[in-house]
Structure 1
Amino acid sequence: MAGIYIHIPFCKQACHYCDFHFSTNMKKKDAMLSALKHELVLRKEEFAAQEVETIYFGGGTPSVLSAEEINELIHAVYDNYKVIATPEITIEANPDDLSSSKLKELSVSPVNRLSIGIQSFFDEDLTLMNRAHSAEQAVESLKEATQLFDNISIDLIYGIPNLDHERWQQNITKALEFNVAHISSYALTVEPKTALKKFIEKGIVPELDDDTAEEQFHILIDRLT
């Protein structure tokens, strides 16, 4: 069995902690999509003897693409590879991209799993990280997504400066309210040359506390087990 990962290197804006390779300029989006389709054709012989059971759109932010563009890439996979009857097809998405119409379009597409980058249900955390969505959008996107998709994963970040244990507990509680299939949680890290690194060096943002992050990790484990 094989899995195909399709990388979409575009974002609306740069999160302050992110050191991934991406672009906020969409001018080359069409050229990139054409190149991805071409690569799928070029590499099909590598999988000639295997069946594809998973297709995963990561990024960047794949949800900046339209449902039509996502469908075109999925069809390119089906046209060139042996895909099992019921593959898992995941798209990473940000709440601000998941309008009611977008969710409905995705729900009638081959996509059957969403990985939603919530990160926090509090505006102060989202602002500090320069996320494009608000706490309200996080909640609304999950309310609608859970009505249309059975398989949803959400991301949460702990160890954020000024994130106390009470607010972290509230984040976990809110996530559990939606009864999603999976929760992925990560400690915030400070990477070289990121905006977060510069803000900490200038004293604009307090340094991350490893002990606090460790405690919040154990809180998470206790709540999820």
Structure 2
Amino acid sequence: MAGIYLHIPFCKSRCIYCDFYSQTDETFIDKFTEAVCREVRLRKQMLANETVRTVYFGGGTPSRLQQKHLEKIFDTLYAEFSMDNLVEVTLEANPDDLSPEYIGMLRRLPFNRISIGIQSFNDDELKFLG
């Protein structure tokens, strides 16, 4: 059994408490998506005899990706790995990104779990955190 973690480093804004690598310049998302797909193809031998059971999109804020980016990544994953028995496919998300349209798009893709990054329910604390 194998799992794949994909770090998506894009964020709407930089949070003062976050130690993970991220950037707010989303002009690179298309190039980044291409780079992820190249990396997947380069590393396919690492999981040649494995069945991928989990895929986790972490970050950053993976919900900054558009449908075309997610579809391209999934097309590459399915082309390179055995993914017939996926158990869990997770996307970390910012609540602000989760419009009904975005959630509908996620449902059409293999996602079956959303990890929502809620830092606080207090508006003053949220403003302070960024």
CA distance in 2, matches of 1:36, 1:101: 25
Q: 1:42: which partner in 2?
A: 42
Q: In 2, distance between residues paired with 1:69 and 1:32?
A: 9
Q: TM-score if structure 1 supplies the norm length?
A: 0.56
Question: Per the alignment, in what secondary structure is the counterpart of residue 83 of structure 1?
Answer: coil
Counterpart for residue 17 of structure 1: 17
1:106 is aligned to: 106
- After TM superposition, the score normalised by the length of structure 2 is 0.94
Q: Based on CA coordinates, which of the two structures has the bigger radius of gyration?
A: 1
Question: CA RMSD for the aligned pairs?
Answer: 1.1
Partner of 1:95: 95
- For structure 2, the residue ranges without an aligned partner over 5 or more in a row are none
Per-residue CA deviations over 1:75-127 (Å, capped at 9, x if unaligned) read 21111001133331100000010011111111121111100001211111211
Partner of 1:51: 51
1:17 maps to amino acid: Y
Q: Which amino acid in structure 1 is aligned with residue 35 of structure 2?
A: A
Pick closer, same or farther for the CA change 1:18–1:98 going to 2, 3 Å: same
For residue 66 of structure 1, what is the amino acid of its counterpart? Q
Instruction: Tell me the distance in 2 between the aligned counterparts of 1:119 and 1:87.
Output: 27
Q: Which consecutive residues of structure 1, in runs of 5 or more, have no partner in the other structure?
A: 131-225
**One-letter code of the match for 2:80?**
N
The equivalent residue for 1:66 is 66
Q: What is the distance in 2 between the residues matched to 1:86 and 1:2?
A: 10
Alpha carbons 1:71, 1:110 under 8 Å: kept: no
Name the CA distance, whole Å, in 2 between partners of 1:85 and 1:68: 24
Q: Secondary structure at the match of 1:121?
A: coil
**Using the alignment, how far apart are the partners of 1:85 and 1:17 within structure 2?**
37
How many residues in Structure 1 have an aligned counterpart in Structure 2?
130
Distance 1:70 1:63 in 2: 10
Q: Is the 8 A contact 1:11 1:61 kept in 2?
A: yes
Q: Which has the higher contact order (CA 8 A, sep 6+)?
A: 2
**Equivalent residues in 2 for 1:20-169, closer than 5 Å:** 20-130=20-130
